[in-house]
Structures are given as structure tokens and as C-alpha cells.
Structure 1
Amino acid sequence: MTRTVAVTGAAGALGRKTVEVLKQAGWQVVGIDLAPGPFEGADLAIGGVDLTDEAAMTAAAGQIESRFGRLDGLVNIAGGFRWETIGDGDLATWDKLYAMNVKTTLVSSRALTPLLLAAKGSIVNIGAAAATKAAMGMGAYAASKAGVARLTEALAEELKDAGVRVNAVLPSIIDTEANRKDMPDAEFDRWVTPQALANVVAFLLSPEASAVTGALLPVTGRV
């Protein structure tokens, strides 16, 4: 039986690599993003989706069920970042990052949980190491990612008796082209590569991680 997984944020750097890694592991992959498809490697591309809109995500769930008849995994990658100090920043940033990081994860999980329940599937959320200790300028981002962590724990408790596992990875800086451009003097080899992070995601989705739920797993490289 071929397993099916949905990946939100499939158009981004981590999303693209995660799709690639899961395809190599034998999954059928559904790519979901606000950006228009197609998404490289995805068996089904659902583009133009506002991940904060429950009706839009419910419609996406219907497309998945119609095409594959089941869903065994969900990876919530969609999100965003902004560096701002609390004193000089824009209060609207807090609402924006909450919507981008917490609400997208919540709405996607709610919309796709009925399919995951039927398959006794698994959810992996992308949190952040900053959720455990915020640096200067990362107040809004860290707070939103702390929300992802608490959402992960609460949903894991809610779904564990139904056989659905929910975990999160907490990366430090991910080695992407955008991050290299923003921090040109950094030691890039200390960062976490998208490949390394996607490998951990694939493990958490796999039967080998069947005893793991409610975990917040640091994936921080040498940062």
C-alpha cells in the first residue's frame, strides 16, 4: 500500500526538499501552498490556497480524498519570519506571524484530521528552536513558534487514543539561499540543511517512530 502525505508550504526551500525526500521514501505527495502550482515532485499540486481559511483547506481535503482516498501524513511547513525589536516593531507583526505560523498549522490540521484519523496517520509541525529561548528581535516570531509547540502538544494529547501521532521539529537557522543572503558573514556549515531537517521529518512520519508523539525535537546543527 502506498502512503500519501500532504506538505504545506510546498513551494518554499524546505517544502521542496521535503517533497523530494518523501518521494524518495516511497510516499505519494500532495503539495499545498498559497503560491500557484505545480510543485516539483508532487503527485498532486493544490496551489492558491489560503492556509488560514478553513473553507479553502476543507476543499483541499476533498481533493485529496477524491484523488487518493486516504491521507497518512501531514507536514505543516508553511510559515514566516520577521526580525523586529519589541520597542521599535510594528504591533501588526504579532498578528501576522501568529496567522502565518500558528493559524496555518491549526487550520491545516483541523481540515485534514478526519482523513488522518481514518488512516491512523501522523502530523509533523515545523516549530523553531527560538520557541524555547528568544533572541533580540525575535519576540513575535518566537512567540508564534511557541504557539506551534503548545498546539503540537495539545493535539497530540487529543489524538493519541485515536492512533494519530503529532510531533514537531525545532530547527535553528536553516541553510537556505535567503538566509545566506540575510547573514552573509555567518558560518553556513553550522546551520541545518533542508535535507537534514527533511530526513528527520521523514523519520517522524515513518513506522519506526510509532512510539513517538507529543515530542518537540530539536534539530539545531551546531548553532
Structure 2
Amino acid sequence: MIARLDSRVIVVTGGFGILGRAVAERLGEEGARVVLLDRAATPSSGLPPVALALGGVELGDEAACHAAYAQVRELLGAVDGVVNVAGGFTWETLEGGALASWDRMYDTNVRTAVASCRAALPHLLTRGGGRIVNVGAAAAQKAGLGMGAYAASKAGVARLTEALAEELKDRSVTVNAVLPSIIDTPANRSDMPDADPGRWVAPGQLAAVIAFLLSEDAAALTGACIPVNGRV
């Protein structure tokens, strides 16, 4: 495999989850020095080889994000890219659900991405450029039944991506998002036992698209929200 990300320091938020680990593995294969940030405690095993893993980082807290990025720069010398994977999901109808669910989805999906981007920007700009990739969702474009709060928050991630891309387009930092349909994870298989997971998006497939967006091959692409639908 071509080392398109040779020695670049890439931070992955929500890095201890299924997708975060798949992204870390792919980026490592392409030569990146990968940093995983997560609010969970650092697991004692099961992570792919990475340069640094920091657990207990409250990604929705701006001060905690700034401290984590400062630590990355102190230990590894730079921040060249960010992948905002951290997020969550809820399914409930508007009639039967709770208003608090909308706040929780905003905090989990939008606020974490905003705080991470804000903390990363001084380091990316000092470096003279960089890459930001946000993980949105296909539901941001069309919400289904019970998907209102989740879809609204992921639409916020898409609009964040577009607005920040415009803000940074003359400063050598690109900002893009991937919009996966259903990711093939153990949780989704458990929740949808009658579905065909072969039609879904494998974590490694989504990680490959993310790796491309972090590379120089994607230098001309910014502000894009790219559907990654599998065969859904």
C-alpha cells in the first residue's frame, strides 16, 4: 500500500469504537502516526498500533479538547489532520420521545465535532495546512421514521463542514465529511437481525474513503459531504 500519509499526525476522536479502530488501522497502513481520543478509559488491549491513545477526554468540553490537542503536539510535534468520529445514535419518534434526546444528540454529534475542530485549528494553521474529515450520516439528507433527533444533529455536522470549509478555503486546510448509510457493526447486526449486512458499509471501506480525504490526492476537495451508501 502506498504511504500517502507518511509520518503525518492524525487525530481520531471516538477512536476506541469500531469505526475509530478501523480508521486508525487504515491510516497506520498508509504511514500516519495516529492518535486516538475518546471519553472512555483507554482499553488495555484490542487497539491497533498507534502513536498515542488518550482516554478520559470529554470531547464536548472545549477546555478538555484544547488540553488533549496540546498534549498531542507536545508529544508528537504536530497535528496534521483530524477525523471526527465521536458520536451517538438514538431512535425514537417525536410523539413518543423526549425533548432531551434532541439536546443529547446535539451534544454527542455536533458539539464534539465543533469543540474538536476549534481545538485543532491553531495547530493545523501553525503547520501551514491540514485536513479535517467529519463523520456525518446519510440520514442528514433524508430522515426516516424515528430518526429526527439523530438526523438533525448529523445535518448539523454537514453544515459545520460546509461553513468551516468556506472559512478555511484560502488557508490550506480542507474540510470534508463522509455520510455513511448503515455501518456494519456488531450493534447494528444485533438491532437488525433480519437485515442483510452485506449491503451495508464495512468499517474498513469507510476508513478507505476517509484516508483518501486526508491525503494530498484530495487537496482540491473541500466542503464536500460524500455519501458512502454501500447498497442500502
Q: TM-score, normalised by structure 2?
A: 0.95
Query: 3-state DSSP class of the match of 1:30?
Result: strand
Any idea what the Cα deviations from partners look like across 1:155-185, whole Å, max 9, x if unmatched? 0011111110000000000000010000000
Which residue pairs with 1:95 in the alignment?
Answer: 103
CA displacement at 1:78 relative to structure 2: 0.2
* 2:203 counterpart of 1:198: no
* 2:213 counterpart of 1:218: no
Query: 3-state DSSP class of the match of 2:59?
Result: coil
Which residue pairs with 2:12 in the alignment?
Answer: 7
* 2:156 counterpart of 1:151: no
Select the residue among 7, 16, 21 that pairs with 1:16.
21
Structure 1 runs (4+) deviating above 6 angstroms are none
Amino acid at match of 1:115: H
CA displacement at 1:94 relative to structure 2: 0.1
- d(CA) in 2 for partners of 1:75, 1:126: 8
Q: TM-score, normalised by structure 1?
A: 0.98
**Number of equivalences:** 223
Which residue pairs with 2:183 in the alignment?
Answer: 174
CA displacement at 1:117 relative to structure 2: 1.2
CA displacement at 1:116 relative to structure 2: 1.0
82-91 or 111-120, larger mean C-alpha shift: 111-120
Which residue pairs with 1:28 in the alignment?
Answer: 33
- d(CA) in 2 for partners of 1:11, 1:149: 23
Select the residue among 34, 50, 56 that pairs with 1:42.
50
CA displacement at 1:118 relative to structure 2: 2.1
Which residue pairs with 2:148 in the alignment?
Answer: 139
* 2:122 counterpart of 1:117: no
Identity over aligned pairs, percent: 60
- d(CA) in 1 for partners of 2:7, 2:83: 17
CA displacement at 1:42 relative to structure 2: 2.0
Any idea what the Cα deviations from partners look like across 1:59-97, whole Å, max 9, x if unmatched? 101111101111111000000000000110011000000
- d(CA) in 1 for partners of 2:14, 2:194: 28
Q: Superposition RMSD on alpha carbons, in Å?
A: 0.8
- Tell me, which stretches of 5 or more residues in structure 2 are unaligned? 1-5
CA displacement at 1:41 relative to structure 2: 2.1
Query: 3-state DSSP class of the match of 1:161?
Result: coil
CA displacement at 1:2 relative to structure 2: 1.4
Query: 3-state DSSP class of the match of 2:198?
Result: helix
- d(CA) in 2 for partners of 1:141, 1:41: 32
CA displacement at 1:37 relative to structure 2: 1.4
Any idea what the Cα deviations from partners look like across 1:91-145, whole Å, max 9, x if unmatched? 1000000000000000000001111112200000000000000000000000000
